[in-house]
Homo-oligomer: A and B are copies of this chain.
Amino acid sequence: MQHFPLNRAFTLLEPGPVTLVTTHDGQRDNVMTITWTMVLDFEARFALSTGPWNYSWQALVNTRECVVAIPSAEMLDTVVGIGLCSGRDTDKFEKFGLSRHKAGKVKAPLLSACLANIECRVVEVIEQYGIVVLEGVAAHADPHREQRSPLHAIGDGTFVTDGRVLDRRVMMRPKLPPSVL
């Protein structure tokens, strides 16, 4: 993972990839799958959408730090698996054999296998809408990331990468809203 210019970090999220968001609650690392993110500004300001039902929420709100990582398509089953269990009772790094390494400016870890990692501070939590406003403070990218592709979630248990549809509807069934079953 190499240094990536912070003022170009928006180009990592602007295409709308699935992300993995790591936190550190003071004692343990955790990671969640987040597909709802948005760029807010070229100068490394982003938003993500989640809520208190998510175990990572407390760590995010209390520590006001996280890492937004962009997994590659080969990581699909890990990405889906992470979304299906909770840090409340599971060490997801162990369960999925996820390598992490120390970030420079936040306590949440970087994910070594991802295409890129953005270390972020929480600027504001807009609770009414579950919007977390983030400011990037450092970014890192795999120098060979262009040989791999990110994932785009459709939201019905299917994903698209390079125009190919990858179907994980059966696996994701417990987490999908009834409207898409």
Contact = CB atoms under 8 A, between A and B. Distances in A.
Interface of A: 5, 7-8, 10-11, 14-17, 35-42, 45, 47-49, 124, 126, 129-131, 133, 149, 152-156, 160-163, 177, 179-180
Determine how many copies of this chain the complex contains: 2
A39 B47 contact: no
Contact of A14 (B10, B124, B154): B154
Given A16-B152, A131-B131, A38 B42 contact: no
B40 A131 contact: yes
A40 B163 contact: no
Majority secondary structure, A binding face: mixed
A47 B37 CA distance: 10
A153 B38 contact: no
Contacts of A47: 38, 47, 49, 129, 131
Interface centre among A5, A35, A130, by most B CB within 10 Å? A35
Contact of A15 (B14, B152, B162, B177): B152
Contacts of A154: 11, 14-15
A129 B179 contact: no
